[in-house]
Amino acid sequence: MSAMEIDAAHETADRTPGRRAFLAQVGGGMLVATLGSGLARRFGASPAASWLEADDPLAFGRFGPWVELLTDTPLEHLQPKVVALLREGVAPADLVGAAALANARAFGGEDYLGYHAYMALVPALEMSRELPAAEAALPLLKVLVRNTARIQGSEHDRAPTLTHAPRPYDGAQAVDARFLVARVRARELDTAEAAFDTLVTADPSRAFEALLPAVNQEVDVHRVVLAWRAWDILRLTGAEHARVLLRQVLRQCIDRESHIKRRAVCDDLPQVLDATGVLAAPLGTRRMPDAQLDAFAHELVASDRRTAATSTAAALVEGFAPDDLGQAHSLATTLLMLRQRGRPDANDSKRPRGSVHGAGTGVHASDTAAAWRGIARAGSEQQTKLALVSGGYYVGGQSGDVGEPLAIAEPASELATGSEAELIATLSEAVERGDQLHAAAAAHAFASSARELRPMLDVLLANCVASDGALHAEKYYRTQTEALTGDRPAFRPLHAAALARVCASQSGIEADGRAQALELLRG
């Protein structure tokens, strides 16, 4: 069903006289029995079942009206309604929280395009904070359109995956990480959800930590990034919505079980942890000099997965600061991006021949490293160690997927003689014409000499906001700008070059709804 057909169906339903009034007159009990609890609630019924009363996490509290608006509004009317809400003073963070809840309810972590839209929500919000007030809503509108379009373009529009709270857990076995892994491997959805819900209700932080071994059943960027974004977004929604937002991570793990072919990570990591004794070692504060960090990142790129994890664990035992190791992981994945081969053939109209944006080794590796770093910072010392060792495991083993480094040294050296204004002009022109080499070289030269990164970031931000990005523009922009602004200044040129390369790759492929968004914001 096309977007236009979906819009027409919504408009027809909304024009039907007394549609919601009629449904209300039918009676809550009958409607629940006929449509099911989730759809009944969507249509305004008052279900009588005890597990759908006020403590039902799918009631969404103050987010409820926005969740329904972002789910039900026909696409052609969505952006005008969102702009109106923003002008009325609704906080962008609240709309992002509502979109996350709408997405989790619809897909439960089980839809590829759905969870990609979810993972872009917070990065889009952060991007909006970098823009002038008149344009600040652009990245938000872009991702909200993507989110709603996917909900309405799937069977989950009127048959959401999550319709009610999990049933109460009635098992005798204690619920911990091992228990959850066993239930996930057995694909015992009802038991896993019921058991996990007891953990989340008691302590969301401990529940998240217990969930991570289930996430780590295979090397999969989507499981890790979804887990991190689900946790991170709780700062917008409040911990009371952890039952829904973390539940989707559990369900994605169960959904993925039938696709797992190799569990090397499950065999390798316990052996690495035991051999290095990292779990018993205290976290240190020792700083790694720039030259050593650079060498370590290159070592990780050349290593297989188990060796990269072992090297990370050994560095923790030596007392190196966790954030230094996270920086090394981010630098290593940036090196992978600068070595990534362009696509030999067009994947589709959004990923043409020679492109490196969207799903690929460099982008996926970078986003995964950023997610493990976020997870490492968000929990206990044990979580920090496990996340960083896992992060090392995910960085390694990918050198065979890439080629020689992009040859930016010579053009970057030549460009370095120009003024900052000239470098920005060169960068902008190279990005616009899709010239990956010269865009990367110009960004490298600018970041090597400029004290203020904002002029360069403005060029790259504008590109990521305007471009479709094949589902990854927002995540990758946020991943690299976090490294650019928060990590060692010595490595800014490499991070800048990688981001500029991706921007040039995706240039000219405009995001859906952009023309309407610009008209609304400028009107």
- The confidence score (pLDDT) of residue 488 equals 96
- The confidence score (pLDDT) of residue 23 equals 27
Q: Which two tokens stand for residue 104?
A: 């989790």
- The confidence score (pLDDT) of residue 347 equals 82
Q: Which two tokens stand for residue 289?
A: 């000099």
Displacement of CA 186 from its chain's centroid (Å): 27
- In Å, what is the CA distance from 45 to each residue of 27, 33, 210, 496? 7, 11, 36, 52
Summarize pLDDT for 398-421 with one digit per residue, the tens.
999 999 999 999 999 999 999 999
Q: Where do the structural domains in the chain lie, given as residue ranges? A: 3-152, 177-259, 264-401, 409-506
Q: Which residue has the higher pLDDT, 29 or 95?
A: 95
Q: Which two tokens stand for residue 386?
A: 């496990």
Q: Which residue has the higher pLDDT, 367 or 48?
A: 367
Tell which residue, 109, 142, 114, has the closest CA to residue 128: 142
- The confidence score (pLDDT) of residue 8 equals 38
- The confidence score (pLDDT) of residue 203 equals 96
Segment 74-87 shows an average pLDDT of 96
Segment 187-213 shows an average pLDDT of 96
The CA-based angle 39-244-104, given to 5 degrees, is: 65
CA gap 440, 495 in Å, rounded:
9
Cβ neighbour number for residue 76 with a 10 Å cutoff: 14
Whether the CB-CB separation of 166 and 200 falls below 8 Å is answered with no
Summarize the chain as % helix, strand, coil (round to 5).
Answer: 70, 0, 30
* 24-33, 281-290, 513-522, range with the lowest pLDDT: 24-33
Q: Is the pLDDT of residue 11 over 70?
A: no
CA gap 94, 155 in Å, rounded:
26
- The confidence score (pLDDT) of residue 349 equals 86
Half-sphere exposure of 37 (CA within 13 A, CB side): 17
Summarize pLDDT for 171-182 with one digit per residue, the tens.
989 999 999 999
CA gap 392, 320 in Å, rounded:
14
Q: Is the pLDDT of residue 341 over 70?
A: yes
Summarize pLDDT for 425-474 with one digit per residue, the tens.
999 999 999 999 999 999 999 999 988 999 999 999 999 999 999 999 99
Q: Where are the alpha helices (DSSP H) in 16-74?
A: 19-26, 28-35, 37-42, 64-72
- The confidence score (pLDDT) of residue 155 equals 87
Cβ neighbour number for residue 410 with a 10 Å cutoff: 9
- The confidence score (pLDDT) of residue 7 equals 34
Using CA atoms in the order 168, 170, 174, 175, what is the torsion angle rounded to 10 degrees?
Answer: -30
Q: Which two tokens stand for residue 123?
A: 């990065």
Cβ neighbour number for residue 417 with a 10 Å cutoff: 9
488 contact partners, CB below 8 Å, separation of at least 6: 290, 293, 327
Summarize pLDDT for 309-323 with one digit per residue, the tens.
999 999 999 999 999
Segment 2-27 shows an average pLDDT of 32
Cβ neighbour number for residue 451 with a 10 Å cutoff: 5
- The confidence score (pLDDT) of residue 88 equals 96
CA gap 391, 376 in Å, rounded:
9
Half-sphere exposure of 138 (CA within 13 A, CB side): 25
CA gap 171, 404 in Å, rounded:
55
The H or E element spanning position 395 is helix 381-395
CA gap 118, 102 in Å, rounded:
9
- The confidence score (pLDDT) of residue 259 equals 87
Amino acid at the residue 350 = K
- The confidence score (pLDDT) of residue 55 equals 59
Give the pLDDT band (50/70/90) at residue 34.
very low
Whether the CB-CB separation of 209 and 186 falls below 8 Å is answered with no
- The confidence score (pLDDT) of residue 303 equals 97
Segment 302-311 shows an average pLDDT of 98
Tell which residue, 73, 79, 95, has the closest CA to residue 9: 73
280 contact partners, CB below 8 Å, separation of at least 6: none
Segment 98-112 shows an average pLDDT of 97
Q: Is the pLDDT of residue 12 over 60?
A: no
The strand pairing partners of 510, in sequence order, are: 467
18 contact partners, CB below 8 Å, separation of at least 6: none
Q: Is the pLDDT of residue 32 over 50?
A: no
Segment 367-394 shows an average pLDDT of 97
Segment 117-140 shows an average pLDDT of 97
CA gap 449, 461 in Å, rounded:
20
DSSP 345: S
The distance in angstroms from the start CA to the end CA of the chain is 32
Whether the CB-CB separation of 506 and 463 falls below 8 Å is answered with yes
The strand pairing partners of 490, in sequence order, are: none
- The confidence score (pLDDT) of residue 48 equals 33
- The confidence score (pLDDT) of residue 24 equals 32
- The confidence score (pLDDT) of residue 234 equals 97
Percent of the chain at pLDDT > 70 equals: 89
- The confidence score (pLDDT) of residue 45 equals 37
- The confidence score (pLDDT) of residue 57 equals 79
Segment 66-73 shows an average pLDDT of 96
270 contact partners, CB below 8 Å, separation of at least 6: none
Q: In terms of C-beta density within 10 A (0-12 exposed, 13-18 middle, 19 or more buried), how is residue 147 classed?
A: buried
CA gap 227, 250 in Å, rounded:
9
Give the pLDDT band (50/70/90) at residue 109.
very high
Give the pLDDT band (50/70/90) at residue 31.
very low
- The confidence score (pLDDT) of residue 39 equals 37
464 contact partners, CB below 8 Å, separation of at least 6: 127, 139, 473, 474, 476, 477, 503, 506
- The confidence score (pLDDT) of residue 242 equals 97
Q: Is the pLDDT of residue 41 over 80?
A: no
392 contact partners, CB below 8 Å, separation of at least 6: 300, 308, 309, 310, 311, 312, 313, 325, 329
Q: Is the pLDDT of residue 484 over 70?
A: yes
